[in-house]
Structure 1
């Protein structure tokens, strides 16, 4: 089998992969169209239009979002069966692109640095391929094109607008998504049952002092050193209250205070994020942040405001459905292209809202650029990130393989065989090595 320009031992190329590769020029063209004109947040009119135009003529029931620029397209085979949701996000990041690509972003200060352009293009390719093969299928496939994964969280509004009971009222039975990753070997799939992404929550701390002249700090209450002390104390809190075998990350990313060199400001603001894998640790960190910030401020005679808005919950992959994905990926791409993730990523993903409601899984798709060594290239969210576009054919084939397997009756609730496969995957994960991106 030839996927990435090198032969594997998997035997003849699968029919799905052959058909997906025939679509690759169109998939790449769509990806580059979206890449040139990236959009941020919930309002993505150009991206939405590009996706809708690419879906035209496939015989899908297409619905546009009311509150955001989402697209939901439903493939109904006309035969009774289960319903699978396939998801792609579409939004970009607010950063300047420095890749040097001839199709680089034409929008100043905005770029597709997390591969969402590729996600959207691959899902359109999957819609085309599954539509062409609908006579072999029974049931329905829902294609979810989502804005605002990087910002406000577009999945929840889509759910509230009826995503999981689309066009006819039949509920979605399971869901699948993939995320491209520049640091993993191209065309490889990385899976794990259980927790895949961390819960991603926000931190905002405002230290309130009393302003005055910089030459007389003893006559005021200077919030700046207190804010710095809080940053240091929070790191100590993490290491002394969270068990060493329970992952937790707390990062303060901004400090804002004052505008003049000779004025001690009234307030200093800290913002950041904390990532956890369990609800117990999430609660421990949340309580610890408030306790430390309030205690340090009080020790210096100041007050503090602590805001801890909840972000995305952890992504939990259903073990039985993950076993289906592993099986489908091996059949479509070859067993040598399927790897177990040894541990979750501390990135955040709002696909978690979908997986809270229906079983499913999210996996990583490697796309390390040609001629590069995996693990050494710029990562997702870098202004220089590059992806091997040959991997897009593998992504199209994977979406379709998962859909066909699930609609045939595999996946969630798959019985003892699925449980045994899931247990094998967990054992493999303990010995495997894989890189993951910490997007989100």
Structure 2
């Protein structure tokens, strides 16, 4: 199913730092965050992570096309001496001859317990407008959601964990998942169905980290239960009868119907959804016509809706479908509501036990000295949710909004904005947090009475290691 594997005999050495740390660091027990961070924020280590991030930032690739990104990840893992497999995350709705661009690496014993760390690797179809010297070199594509930082932070964790494991074997296995196609392609679902969680040793818990410009750099925040909404793309085709724009009475103009429908959709949220519930419907594209003196025959609306439950998803879709037909008919047109993307994302739901675990072990990793509990979910969808449907998982936000001094420009621009700028000071903290969550989890799982998972398993081939 998967392509090749690779192992390198060379690795970047951190011997001088590791050997200077206290003995608990080398005794198999998870070190506290400060000791891990002492390594990752070392000047040479930080420069290494930043170099990885800037290389990726200059070469953004959108979903299912992350071939150069995948090769760069493979090359880095090979240099570190970390075994990996490739070909993951194949687009089941695309060309069957094209391999997936996901990469899965392993560090540790190769036996249970097993903890997974995930980073998404794809970019967005956005024209960058930051003016940075290392801005995107590909016109119309940009890492505007921080996935370049997620990838480089996980590579930093790979480096740290590999050096640690070389000196004192880990109490199990850490699986590093570099996942393609988060931005609408459901790459997590593809990898899950390919067996990335059930592969031996089976994953018992999984963690994901996302940079967050809404909060100060280094602040860690999350919440138990639903932390992010589900999402589903939508497309509405409104069909009329085109003709000369100076004689609209002889035609059936679909434009007024489209305008009315955009407004009508908003009442699904404002007038039909409980104030105690949350949904969002956004129409983001409107296409119709190519000449100023011609009434188009068709107008196509595109957008997405977000929801916190499957019931809410179904209700919104049903009402939009009814409105599309009814509003179009009122204007003498016809309309149909379709799903341009066959995959919809379920809400991201954090395991409450892992939330408690984060508060216990992760407080020292936050600049505030504590993990901030979010008051409510954020209405953004994330395909990490597919992993959480199978194993306990925790999604964590890492603030990066106070980088004006370090980056020379504000780092508070919204995700998916052409001005989005990462505060690179957050990179070593993210690598350290990944490492902490993995090591502390192995400690907890290895001492628990279960020591196993009820998930089905798939044997890992010897060549995969």
Would the TM-score normalized by the shorter structure come out above 0.5? yes
**TM-score, normalised by the number of residues in structure 2:** 0.81
Counterpart of 1:221 in structure 2 is 252
Does residue 352 in structure 1 map to residue 374 in structure 2? no
| Aligned residue in 1 for 2:274 | 243
1:320–1:414 CA contact under 8 A, matched in 2: no
Q: 2:425 aligns with which of 369, 382, 390?
A: 390
In 1, the alpha carbon distance for the partners of 2:135 and 2:380 equals 25
Please list the CA deviations of residues 357-385 of structure 1 after superposition, one character each: whole Å capped at 9, or x if unmatched.
Answer: 11111111111243479998311111112
Which one is further off, 320-329 or 174-183? 320-329
Mapping for residues 98-113 of structure 1, pairs under 5 Å: 98-113=129-144
CA-CA distance at 1:223 after TM superposition: 0.8
CA distance in 1, matches of 2:367, 2:53: 25
State the alpha-carbon separation in 1 of the partners of residues 368 and 417 from structure 2.
31
Offset, 1:302:
2.2
SS in 1 for 2:381: coil
Which range moves more in the overlay, 111-120 or 50-59? 50-59
Gaps of 5+ in 2: 1-31, 89-98, 451-465
CA distance in 1, matches of 2:438, 2:366: 15
Residue in structure 2 matched with residue 16 of structure 1 by the alignment:
36
Alignment of 1:160-179 (within 5 A): 160-166=193-199, 169-179=200-210
The secondary structure found in structure 1 opposite 2:232 is strand
Is the Cα–Cα contact under 8 Å of residues 17 and 333 in structure 1 kept in the other structure? no
Q: Which residue is equivalent to 2:73?
A: 51
Task: Tell me the secondary structure at the aligned position of residue 71 of structure 2.
Answer: helix
* SS in structure 2 at match of 1:362: strand
Aligned pairs for 1:323-334 within 5 A? 323-333=356-366
C-alpha separation in 1, matches of 2:192 and 2:181: 13
Deviation (angstroms), 1:163? 1.0
Secondary structure of the corresponding residue to residue 369 of structure 2? helix
8 Å contact 2:63–2:181 — kept in the other structure? yes
1:59, CA displacement in angstroms? 4.1
CA distance, structure 2, for counterparts of residue 252 and residue 242 of structure 1: 18
Q: Residues 100-143 of structure 1: CA distance to partner in whole angstroms, max 9, x if unpaired? A: 21211112221111111111110011111112222252111110
2:403 to 357, 370, 375: 370
How far the C-alpha of 1:60 sits from its partner, in A, is 2.9
CA distance in 1 between counterparts of 2:214 and 2:332 reads 48
Task: List aligned pairs for 1:107-146, cutoff 5 A.
Answer: 107-134=138-165, 135=168, 137-146=170-179
Q: Does the 8 Å contact 2:282/2:303 carry over to 1?
A: yes
Question: Separation in 2 of the partners of 1:340 and 1:27?
Answer: 28
**Residues 335-350 of structure 1 aligned to structure 2 (within 5 Å):** 336-350=369-383
Q: Give yes or no for the alignment of 1:407 onto 2:442.
A: yes
**Equivalent residue, structure 1, for 2:26:** none
Residues paired across the two proteins, number: 400
Q: 1:129-161 deviations in whole A, cap 9, x for unaligned?
A: 112222252111110001111132211222232
Residue 379 of structure 1, aligned match among 409, 414, 423: 414
Question: What is the TM-score normalised by the length of structure 1?
Answer: 0.86
Counterpart of 1:37?
59
SS in 1 for 2:290: coil
